[in-house]
Structure formats: structure tokens, C-alpha cells
Amino acid sequence: MNTPQDAPFYLPQGGEIELFEKAYSHGLPVLIKGPTGCGKTRFVQHMAHRLERPLFTVACHDDLTASDLVGRHLIGGDGAFWQDGPLTRAVREGGLCYLDEVVEARKDTTVVLHPLADDRRILPIDRTGEQLEAADGFMLVVSYNPGYQNALKGMKPSTRQRFVGVSLSYPVPQLETRIVEKEGGVSPQLARRIVDVGVALRRLEQHDLEEAASTRLLIYTARLMASGVDPMRACQACLVEPLTDDEETLRALTQVIDIHFGRD
């Protein structure tokens, strides 16, 4: 079992660790909102280590079924047998079950979470006739990007109101610089220059970018630079190409990067 000292590197943005721990102590589920690449998954990994609980992560998608979460009967050499899904394992073992980008899952799938996300803390398994009570230490955590919310993809109000909400965003520059320095393996000075580029790119409001330059992409940029890749090329590969295919927007992003690294 990992100890808090072994926890994945995470710098708090402001109160989220204490809030998460208080929710955990009361057996309350947590909903984490924030843009892509701002550290939602790293935060959950950090908290699982801090609380010394096993972590079961599910990347949600359109084809995710309730059976993918709960489990199913399989055929083996000795006949049919039941195999627990990640949600069921977390319930039995008292772990954290983390559903990443939960709005990507079908609404009829996420309904299975309801009895776990209120005072009942139970998981009915129709196919085995079990009604599991969540073991001590079990916690349900879900996340999503509010920017993707629309009429077709969004959590039902009856689901949302079962959770304690935590909002994360891209860290302030001083904090983000420390993250990029640590995770990217670059000097504080270079980390700050990379963060300055990210901040400038996020201000390009006149261009229709679906996603802003994330902290994750800034870390990727730093890692490439640390391994000897030319700074302009690293920025192009990590901060331009992943963000858009539009030629005009590509030029605009490249111009911003050229201001910061074009003279190197």
C-alpha cells in the first residue's frame, strides 16, 4: 500500500485536498469539474495514495455499458463464472472508483450509480441477486469537462445532485511554473517561459479553439525541450498541432510561439 509520501506529485490550487478528505470521511461522492489537462486525474491519483485506498479508474465512452462497470458472466474451462467490473471491485474492497469524463457514458449506464451516491451506499447486482453494501473506504468520484456540456451530453440533475462538487482550472502561472519544472524536468526559467506561452495562447479568444493549451501539453513541451528538441519545434508539436487543424488558427498560434521562442 502506498503512503502519502509516495503520492503522485500534485500541487493544490486552493482547498480541494481538504474538501476531498472531508467528503471521504463522510462517505460522500465527489464530482470534479475542469477543462481537459488541468490535473483532474492526477488529483484523484494523489488523493487515493494520500488516503491509502486502491484506485479503480474507468475512462467513460459512448459504448460503456452497466455491465462494463458492474461485471458480467463469462465462459471458462469450468463453465460460466462471474467477473466483477471495476465499480463492483471498488465497492467490495473499499477503494476509490473514478469515472473519468462521466458525461461520455450513456445516461442509462450512469443510473447504476444512484444507490451508491446517496445514503444507501449499495450496489444491486441483478444478474447474481446480490445487493452489496459498500465496504468502509469506498468512494465514488466522477469528472467531466464543463466545456463539453450540451443537451445530448450532460449529467442528469438527479445524478448531479448526489455529489459534492469540486472545480479545478488551469493553475495560476506561479503554480503552473512549479508543475512544469517538476514534471517536465526543465529549469525554473525555462518552465516560466513555457507557461508564459500557454497563458498567451489561452488569451486567443478571437480564434475558435475547442480546447485551450492545457497544463498537460505544457509539460509535454518541457519534456521534449529537456530531451534536446528545438524549442520552436517542441512548441509546434505540443502547443499548435494538437489544438487545431484550421490554417488561420495554426498561423496565429505559431506567431504567439514565435514571439516567445523564435529568437532562440
Task: For the domain covering 4-167, report its CATH number.
Answer: 3.40.50.300
> What is the pLDDT confidence band of residue 2, given thresholds at 50, 70 and 90?
very low
Closest CA to 250 of 262, 239, 264, 261: 239
Q: Which residue has the cell 451508491?
A: 116
Q: Burial of 251 by CB count in 10 Å (0-12 exposed, 13-18 middle, 19+ buried)?
A: exposed
Sign of torsion over alpha carbons 43, 241, 235, 173: negative
Interhelix angle 40-51/16-25, rounded to 10 degrees, is: 50
Q: Quote the mean pLDDT of the chain.
A: 91
pLDDT tier, 110 (very low <50, low <70, confident <90, very high otherwise): confident
For residue range 44-76, list pLDDT tens digits in order. 999 999 999 999 999 999 899 999 999 998 988
**3-state class of 150 per DSSP?**
coil
Nearest by Cα to 255 from 206, 192, 185: 206
Strand (E) or helix (H) holding 133 = strand 130-133
Work out the pLDDT band at 150, boundaries 50, 70, 90: low
Nearest to 34 by CA among 91, 104, 100: 100
Nearest CA to 36 out of 222, 168, 194 is that of: 168
- With cut-offs at 50, 70 and 90, classify the pLDDT of residue 155: confident
pLDDT in tens, 80-109: 889 999 999 999 999 999 999 998 988 778
| pLDDT at residue 149, rounded to an integer | 58
Burial (CB count within 10 angstroms: exposed 0-12, middle 13-18, buried 19+), residue 37: buried
The Cα 243–Cα 207 span in angstroms is: 11
Does the pTM exceed 0.95? no
User: Which H helix or E strand runs over 103?
Assistant: none
pLDDT, tens digit, 9 for 90 and up, residues 15-38: 999 999 999 999 999 999 999 999
CB neighbours (10 Å) of residue 89? 15
Q: What is the dihedral of CA 222, 224, 227, 229, to 10 degrees?
A: -120
Domain limits, the chain: 4-167, 173-261
- Please state, in angstroms and rounded to a whole number, the distance separating the CA atoms of residues 139 and 118: 11
Say how many C-beta atoms besides its own lie within 10 A of residue 225's C-beta: 24
Give the confidence band of 257 by pLDDT, cuts at 50, 70, 90: very high
Q: Is the dihedral of CA 168, 220, 6, 96 positive or negative?
A: positive
